[in-house]
């Protein structure tokens, strides 16, 4: 299926590795030009070069921090000068503070502040700067990566769940306001996605990993490509009447009917 996004301009934040980089690949495979944004300039340049060589699109690396206003402003200015605007905005972020803890142990204000800034404020700050680049084009797609924890809170995830629920609410508000400009805004809520790319930084022990596989009827972890496909679909022309929604990618872990 042709997703109808050839030559659209897409920004994927937090894209020097992991899910963000894979999402950028997936959009580029559909012919979109991509802008990558994260703090590690070397990794970002390598990812952009690989995407351009693999998919024959423009891939621009802009090194910066989603939490630093001047970096995000520079990102917006660069997209405006290089591409004249933005069509697709994928709001991916870094992870909640490590180590993961039970909620009763989450008593440090510094960790809550860090989680708020990393999970929620980063998204709002980037959206604030990017929306003016999108609204004039009369077509657009916003996709935020949240977590299935917003529907079924998972153990040790309160620092994520609390603020990703905030992202969910923020995106719903955005959907109401940007629809008049032909822009949709949705969330993709993953869980149990294989993160073995994070060498030496795995959030779970092998025992916890085995237990997690049993949390889904499919009895396995999800693959990054299975998240990327859903993001690419929500960014497509065919998804034009889907807005304000959250699409779960969690292998059926959440047991509710809706």
Taking CB under 6 A as the criterion, the residue among 192, 215, 228, 232 binding ligand NAP is: 192
Q: Establish if 193 lies at the interface with ligand NAP (CB under 6 A).
A: yes
Taking CB under 6 A as the criterion, the residue among 4, 31, 85, 94 binding ligand NAP is: 94
Q: Is the peptide bond before 99 cis (omega within 30 degrees of 0)?
A: yes
Cβ neighbours of 182 (radius 10 Å): 14
Report d(CA 145, CA 13) in Å as an integer.
10
Q: Taking CB under 6 A as the criterion, which residues in 30-59 touch ligand NAP?
A: 38-40, 43
Report d(CA 151, CA 154) in Å as an integer.
9
**CB pairs under 8 A, 24+ apart, for 105-113?**
106/158, 106/159, 111/159, 112/159
Q: Which stretch binds ligand NAP (CB under 6 A): 24-32, 99-107, 178-186, 192-200?
A: 192-200
Output the smallest distance, CB 163 to ligand NAP, in A. 10
Q: Which stretch binds ligand NAP (CB under 6 A): 14-22, 52-60, 103-111, 238-246?
A: 14-22
Output the smallest distance, CB 53 to ligand NAP, in A. 20
Q: Establish if 65 lies at the interface with ligand NAP (CB under 6 A).
A: yes
Contacts of residue 180, Cβ cutoff 8 Å, sequence gap at least 6: none
- Total interface residues for ligand NAP by CB under 6 A: 27
**Within 13 A of 32's CA, how many CA atoms are on the CB side?**
31
Helical segments of 56-86, H only: 69-83
| One character per residue 102-141, x = contact with ligand NAP (rule: CB under 6 A) | --------------------x-------------------
Q: Cβ distance 127 to 89 under 8 Å?
A: yes
Taking CB under 6 A as the criterion, the residue among 3, 8, 10, 20 binding ligand NAP is: 20
Q: Establish if 208 lies at the interface with ligand NAP (CB under 6 A).
A: no
Report d(CA 254, CA 55) in Å as an integer.
35
**Residue numbers at the binding site for ligand NAP (CB under 6 A):** 14-20, 38-40, 43, 65-67, 92-95, 122, 145, 147, 190-193, 195, 198
């Amino acid at each position: 299926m042709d997703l109808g996004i050839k030559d659209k301009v897409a920004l994927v934040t937090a894209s020097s590795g992991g899910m963000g980089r894979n999402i950028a690949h997936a959009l580029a495979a559909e012919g979109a030009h991509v802008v990558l944004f994260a703090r590690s300039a070397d990794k970002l340049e390598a990812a952009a070069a690989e995407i351009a060589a693999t998919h024959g699109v423009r891939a621009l690396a802009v090194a910066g921090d989603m939490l630093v206003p001047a970096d995000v402003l520079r990102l917006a200015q660069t997209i405006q000068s290089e591409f004249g605007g933005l069509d697709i905005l994928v709001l991916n972020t870094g992870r909640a503070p490590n180590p993961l803890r039970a909620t009763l142990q989450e008593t440090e204000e510094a960790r809550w502040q860090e989680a708020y800034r990393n999970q929620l404020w980063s998204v709002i700050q980037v959206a604030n700067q990017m929306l003016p680049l999108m609204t004039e084009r009369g077509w657009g797609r916003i996709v935020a990566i949240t977590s299935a924890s917003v529907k079924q809170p998972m153990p040790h995830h309160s620092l994520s769940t609390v603020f990703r629920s905030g992202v969910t609410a923020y995106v719903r508000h955005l959907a109401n306001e940007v629809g008049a400009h032909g822009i949709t805004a949705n969330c993709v809520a993953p869980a149990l996605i294989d993160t073995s790319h994070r060498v030496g930084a795995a959030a779970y022990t092998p025992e916890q990993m085995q237990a997690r596989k049993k949390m889904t009827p499919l009895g396995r972890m999800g693959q990054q490509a299975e998240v990327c496909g859903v993001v690419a679909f929500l960014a497509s022309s065919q998804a034009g009447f889907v807005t304000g929604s959250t699409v779960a990618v969690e292998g059926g872990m959440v047991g509710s009917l809706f």
